[in-house]
Structure 1
Amino acid sequence: MSETQSSTEEHHKPDLYEIRLKGHLDVRWTYLFEGLNLTHESDGTTILTVQVVDQPALYGLLRKVRDLGLPLVSVLQVDPNWANGPNVNKNKDPIIRKKGD
Structure 2
Amino acid sequence: MYELRVAGRIDPHWSGWFADFTVTAQPDGTTTLRGTIADQSELHGVLARIRDLGLTLISVVPAG
Same fold (TM over 0.5): yes
What whole-Å deviation, never above 9, does each CA across 1:1-54 have from its counterpart, x for those lacking one? xxxxxxxxxxxxxxx111101012121111111121101111110001120111
Q: Does residue 1:69 correspond to 2:54, yes or no?
A: yes
Q: Please name the residue that 1:18 is paired with.
A: 3
Q: Please name the residue that 2:24 is paired with.
A: 39
Q: Percent identity?
A: 41
- Unpaired runs of at least 5, structure 2: none
Pairs aligned (count): 64
The runs of at least 4 aligned residues of structure 1 exceeding 4 Å deviation read: none
What TM-score comes out, normalization by structure 2 length?
0.89
Q: Please name the residue that 1:58 is paired with.
A: 43
Instruction: Return the structure number with greater relative CO, CA threshold 8 A, min gap 6.
Output: 2
CA RMSD between the two structures: 1.0
- Which structure's CA Rg is the greater one? 1
3-state DSSP of counterpart to 2:36: strand
1 or 2, which has the higher helix percentage? 2
3-state DSSP of counterpart to 1:52: coil
